[in-house]
Structure 1
């Protein structure tokens, strides 16, 4: 099977082959569950040695784009990454971006507000009674003064994840879960000493009221106030840290 690949330079040939095969998967020339040509056939097509092809396939396997199967019907097959693998990869990228200073809290807060606001609007329309019950259960937990900061933060993440799920959009859920699972714990870790749990709980209660009433404007406005509160607490935490360092 000839797929019309481009010419390969001798430098980083394995990487180039892996990239071209990946592009063939992306643009549909190679379908999920389709068997790839053999190493010998690929080597002939690309004009390289079999070890070079083998290294390229290892790179694709590391990206979760192919899988090998033994036996009479075996071979190497296209295997699209699972949603869980994609979410893990995206979360890792977001974590590295935040940890290396590639983005600051204002950037994170703005991105979260814009994306979660869309979720709030759709959740106001699509939420079910089950979603409301789950939100209220988290709110009851957050109102318990005996729970640890770690448990409060975990409940905080779950609360907003429920809203995202209530929006009923699989792609938004994929994007937002990575943001919530990474950015919320980062911001919570910074502000937990200066924030007031009761303030967070009050915002959450108002968001439930808005979703219950199917009022998207109230839900988005409350979310904006919540994120603005988080920004303010972040600045306060930074001031305290600066004072301690001096």
Structure 2
């Protein structure tokens, strides 16, 4: 008798949960989208609505305000529209969910070669998310180096390394303000080659602390032959070997 009562309670709970998951007064019927710019609002709404179609195990509605597949919808949006940076989905009431997005801002370019026009946009974390239009002039600094095979999106370096490297590059750019940083190449040995519009390069190891690299560079400029020659007269300045600095003057 006790077993029968337990089974009856379990069946009742199951039926109640089934009703709760499928009742119309908890069904999502409206999607509010904000923050979009490049990606059309209707496209975002369509992805969200597609994610609400169907039932879990053929029983529990995915459109229920308490059980909708938030994470999978976010993943679908990121996959279909890599230009989207942050995505926030939350319930406004029993029938409405709000989707707030922010779109990635380009911070730099990645190109397969310095003279290539087949470049992609990088955000501030080195995330390659879209093909770049052709720009005139040095609108963004161009990064060169290995990028994973396959379609976009991809990651150039790691976010931490790209943050550190781009910050160091900006510091160099301010110090050598009479010229322009044109390329930042990371080779297979993780050595960085900063190219400038004056034709000289600055070399250092990616693994080195950025502050130490820059301090080394500043101290180098206070010694001969850098006190008697403009930087534009050099072919390269190599900071990869500790306290030693190697350089070459142009012919």
TM-score interval (norm. to shorter)? under 0.3
Largest Rg, 1 or 2:
2
Q: Which has the higher contact order (CA 8 A, sep 6+)?
A: 1
TM-score calculated relative to the size of structure 1: 0.28
Structure with the higher fraction of residues in strand conformation:
2
